[in-house]
Structure 1
Amino acid sequence: MKFLPIDEEYLREVLLELLRTPSPSGRTDAVMQIIGDHLDALGVPIRLTRRGVLRATLTGEVDDTSRAVAVHADTIGCMVKRLKDNGRLEVVPIGTHSARFAEGAHVTVFTDDLTQIHTGTVLPLMSSGHNFGDAVDTQGVGWHQVEIRLDEPVENRADLIALGLHVGDMVALDAAPQLAQNGYLKSRHLDDKAGVAACLAAVKALVEDDAPLPVTAHLLVTIGEEVGMGATHGLDENVAELVAVDNAVVSEGQESREDTVNIGMLDSTGPFDYHLTRRLIGLCDKVGLPYRRDVYRFYRSDAAPAIESGLECRTALIGFGVESSHGHERTHLDGVRRTAELLTTYLRSSLTFSDWDDQPTGALEDFPSHSVQPAEPEPEHYPGRH
């Protein structure tokens, strides 16, 4: 088996399109329409739940047992908490992120009037060095220490009300993607727009390959992962395995890289399934995909809410490396592509334990009694970019 070739131009164009489409948790309709349109163009059947979670299906030779790949289209953002007397907006975060990295961000504010949007900038309360001098450097960090300056002639709360601003208006941090010639991409919201692009590129490769999959596969695109409500619904008890696709943490003390696919062994909710994780590692070794294993402490993915909501399946996590996640993010297109390549390999492989995982329950004596080991020997997993 070999991984399928990925259309890199398609991957790049879809990723930039997704990044330029605001989708903070709670306001994801526009980006989900784009994702649905791409899947429809590939001829892949899709269904949406009442809440707007999307499920695409690639039918396999076995249909009464299935597997799933989960990825989220929502991002971190903000919400207006107060219309201030100085004509500025106090905001609170949507999702977990620090105001330290919001300072200076350009934003888009969406009002209840869908035809009216406003732009602005997140600024510290002391934003003028010529006025506050050294006090600018000693001001604290926190959401109560910043405010949004709208690009409008507003001076007080009444002016904001006249513009149609309300408490509860959604605020998107503009992504502002920049792609370097060497493949590095810096942008807000690579988490998890790069994951969605990798999944769409993998689906495109599988459709064009036109070989039957051994097991029916679902792509679940969720809309509330950043607020802890990712893959809570949209799948049924036939799903034996779920692989979450999300960012991998590139930082001091972490093993993940921006230019490889990365396999999570554990996050804040505990270890991922031992057997499925080693299955993915073995597939990387088999097809020659550079990868890293890593452990993430302050992290959870779509896999956690799936299990918490009662889905009985094995779970694993793979991802593209992101430097400064939930801050000033950066990745490399090699890592996004290799994540897609692993997905094409995984979805064309059999279940981890085909004779056991085809049913939600079974007898004790039939339970797999040995571990799935990666190919031996297990080398340093990064042979170099190629």
Structure 2
Amino acid sequence: MQRLRIDQDYLVTTLQRLLAIPSPTGLTDSVVLAVGDELERLGIPYELTRRGAVRANIQGVRYSPDRAIIAHLDTLGAIVKSLKDNGRLEVLPIGTWSSRFAEGARVTVYGDEGRAWRGTILPLKASGHTFNEAVDTQPTTWEQVELRLDEEVHDIAGLTRLGVNIGDHIAVDPNPEFLPNGFINSRFLDDKAGVAAILAAAKAVKDADPRIPVDCHLLFTISEEVGVGASHVLHGDVAEMVSVDNGTIAPGQNTSEYGVTICMQDSSGPFDWHLTRRLLKLCEACGIEYTRDVFRYYRSDGAAALEAGNDIRTSLVCFACDGSHGWERTHVKSLVALAELLAHYIQMPPIFERDKVPLGPRSDFPDVQLQDD
């Protein structure tokens, strides 16, 4: 196994480009094409599903049993629920996030035939000069916010003339800030930071051109934030799948703020014993800072893959993310550590040779779970 260097500048530049492309679930075509462009630059062949999920392939010595590394391109967002008598818009979230983080957000509303309008999501009682202390006591729910367009509209008729419709997508400005000390603040680091880390790992592998033992698929899904995840982009040869997503920095969590976090269980249950421990040992062998954590209120791409009937070993590796699904922050050290782990994992042989077939005899089934692996 070669010790591969991660191009930090490439990782950061790629993340900046991804964050600049609006991609709430259902409005992901542009970011899909951008990732395709990047894969072409790296010389990695890929295919698209009907709706745009990406399946790329780094060729190994043999094609099966192969592995997959997966992240999602879609982000949180909102959608127009109704046109209001006051010329504003009722909105509902795309994905699960609090209206607390929507208040004050600058947004773009995307309508039919390429039309788009700028606006702001505001609480119903937005003026302290009018509502006084009621501004501070109104509830935090999506029913308590509305979208104010920067257009001369004051009623439903004006909205209709403008061309706004129920069901129009709303993309929230990410407002990224990359600081010289390595901290990165932005909405939607979940999971564009994960995508950037995967592409940086792929670049390191392609630049070094090591002999990798099996094909490694890079999968980029487009509907993780609404629970679909990896259920529609796998094929039967995949025996191991590593999901890449955010690890929450919060009280009661053990996520590493400057390293990579190996998740042992999320809300869907524990991840594969053997694969998670392979990744833990790989961190130790390569000197990559890491921690282990368990997430209660979390569901990754891997859960959807298993629920769709795929009999594969799954794991979840995470970059640090403070303020997840809100004003998110990570550090470039965490992203580089994640990319290093992925680059080295791509070079590893499969955990078990028996995994090349879906069914086999008891004689070749692993008997190490209650022993040292």
Task: Decide whether aligned partners of structure 1 residues 245 and 197 sit closer, same or farther in structure 2, where only a CA change above 3 A counts.
Answer: same
- Residue 324 of structure 1 is matched in structure 2 by 323
Q: Is residue 365 of structure 1 aligned with residue 363 of structure 2?
A: yes
Residue 212 of structure 1 and its aligned partner are, at CA, apart by: 1.8
Letter in structure 2 aligned against 1:363: P
After superposition, residues 167-182 of structure 1 pair within 5 angstroms as 167-182=166-181
Distance 2:371 2:315 in 1: 15
Residue 356 of structure 1 and its aligned partner are, at CA, apart by: 1.7
Distance 1:373 1:343 in 2: 26
Residue 3 of structure 1 and its aligned partner are, at CA, apart by: 3.8
Residue 88 of structure 1 and its aligned partner are, at CA, apart by: 0.6
- Residue 300 of structure 1 is matched in structure 2 by 299
Per-residue CA deviations over 1:59-97 (Å, capped at 9, x if unaligned) read: 101212110001000001000000101011100010000
- Residue 37 of structure 1 is matched in structure 2 by 37
Distance 1:341 1:260 in 2: 10
Distance 2:141 2:89 in 1: 15
Residue 373 of structure 1 and its aligned partner are, at CA, apart by: 7.5
Distance 1:73 1:311 in 2: 22
- Residue 379 of structure 1 is matched in structure 2 by none
After superposition, residues 1-386 of structure 1 pair within 5 angstroms as 1=1, 3-114=3-114, 116-353=115-352, 355-371=353-369
Unaligned runs of 5+ in 1: 376-386
Letter in structure 2 aligned against 1:57: N
Residue 357 of structure 1 and its aligned partner are, at CA, apart by: 1.5
Residue 230 of structure 1 and its aligned partner are, at CA, apart by: 1.0
Letter in structure 1 aligned against 2:56: A
Residue 2 of structure 1 and its aligned partner are, at CA, apart by: 5.2
The DSSP-based 3-state class of the residue aligned with 2:262 is: strand
- Give yes or no for contact 2:2–2:210 (8 Å, CA) kept in 1: no
Distance 2:212 2:40 in 1: 19
Task: Decide whether aligned partners of structure 1 residues 99 and 3 sit closer, same or farther in structure 2, where only a CA change above 3 A counts.
Answer: farther
The DSSP-based 3-state class of the residue aligned with 2:240 is: strand
Distance 1:181 1:260 in 2: 18
Distance 2:14 2:71 in 1: 15
Distance 1:153 1:239 in 2: 54
Letter in structure 1 aligned against 2:244: V
- Give yes or no for contact 1:323–1:330 (8 Å, CA) kept in 2: yes
Q: Percent identity?
A: 52
The DSSP-based 3-state class of the residue aligned with 1:149 is: strand
Distance 1:36 1:327 in 2: 28
The DSSP-based 3-state class of the residue aligned with 1:81 is: strand
The DSSP-based 3-state class of the residue aligned with 2:112 is: coil
Distance 2:369 2:204 in 1: 31
- The alignment's C-alpha RMSD in Å is 1.2
Residue 364 of structure 1 and its aligned partner are, at CA, apart by: 1.6
Distance 2:257 2:45 in 1: 32
Distance 2:73 2:356 in 1: 30
Letter in structure 1 aligned against 2:369: S
Per-residue CA deviations over 1:15-63 (Å, capped at 9, x if unaligned) read: 0110111000001000011000000111110100112110000110121
The DSSP-based 3-state class of the residue aligned with 1:100 is: helix
TM-score w.r.t. structure 2 length?
Answer: 0.98
Residue 233 of structure 1 and its aligned partner are, at CA, apart by: 1.7
The DSSP-based 3-state class of the residue aligned with 1:86 is: coil
Distance 1:10 1:162 in 2: 45
Unaligned runs of 5+ in 2: none
- Residue 381 of structure 1 is matched in structure 2 by none
Where do 4+ consecutive residues of structure 1 move more than 6 Å?
372-375
Distance 1:46 1:265 in 2: 30
Residue 245 of structure 1 and its aligned partner are, at CA, apart by: 0.3
The DSSP-based 3-state class of the residue aligned with 1:311 is: coil
Letter in structure 2 aligned against 1:257: S
The DSSP-based 3-state class of the residue aligned with 2:232 is: coil
Letter in structure 2 aligned against 1:69: I
Letter in structure 2 aligned against 1:250: I
Distance 2:370 2:220 in 1: 29
Which is richer in helix?
2
Task: Decide whether aligned partners of structure 1 residues 259 and 372 sit closer, same or farther in structure 2, where only a CA change above 3 A counts.
Answer: farther
- Give yes or no for contact 2:242–2:317 (8 Å, CA) kept in 1: yes
Distance 1:374 1:200 in 2: 33
Distance 1:153 1:257 in 2: 48
Per-residue CA deviations over 1:283-320 (Å, capped at 9, x if unaligned) read: 00001000010000000110011111111110000010
Letter in structure 1 aligned against 2:267: S
Distance 1:170 1:156 in 2: 20
Which stretch has the larger CA shift, 123-132 or 363-372? 363-372
- Residue 380 of structure 1 is matched in structure 2 by none
Letter in structure 2 aligned against 1:338: A
Distance 1:185 1:264 in 2: 22
- Give yes or no for contact 1:256–1:262 (8 Å, CA) kept in 2: yes
- Give yes or no for contact 2:262–2:290 (8 Å, CA) kept in 1: yes
Residue 371 of structure 1 and its aligned partner are, at CA, apart by: 2.8
Distance 1:219 1:97 in 2: 27
Distance 2:151 2:9 in 1: 38
